Copies of this chain bind each other. A is one copy, B any other.
Amino acid sequence: MPENDPTPSEQSETAERFNQARTAQALALLEDYTEMIDDLIRDHGEARVTEIASRMGVTHPTATKAIARLKREGLAVSRPYRGVFLTEAGTRMAARVRTRHRVVVDLLLAVGVPGEAAKLDAEGIEHHVSDDTLHAFEAFLRARGQV
């Protein structure tokens, strides 16, 4: 059985696949929080820690830590005892993430996934949808006139 080992010192295709999945997952939290903060500012004019935590389903110290990471990565700023605000980069991420989220839900619905499952599963799936896949989803929806 010829084990076709890929050129030495190079990762197997399998390993690369898992590495990409891990990288995508590492961004998931940032993506969900920026989208959420953007939502809150649209709907309420401000994004408060307690409200963010409540909607994310975590305690407020957990949300505070996540926001600290957003700030560290240049996606958000905040004023103590006031709200959280997105930077330019954060706003761009929120816009991209919102669109992708919507496309994923629409795609799931278009292939026949029940509404409830589509909403639930999309929250996790979205973070693993690459640009290529997103474009394919959009093309599929367009071809179906579902967009």
A residues engaging B (CB < 8 A)? 11-12, 14-21, 24-25, 28, 32, 54-58, 107-108, 111-114, 116-121, 123-125, 127-130, 132-133, 136-137, 139-140
Complex CA distance for A137 and B107, rounded to whole angstroms: 11
Shortest CB–CB separation between residue A42 and chain B, in angstroms?
12
Interface of A is mostly: helix
From B14, B21, B24, contact of A55 by CB (8 A): B14
Is B120 in contact with A57, judged by CB distance below 8 angstroms? no
Is B123 in contact with A125, judged by CB distance below 8 angstroms? no
Is A112 in contact with B125, judged by CB distance below 8 angstroms? no
Complex CA distance for A112 and B111, rounded to whole angstroms: 12
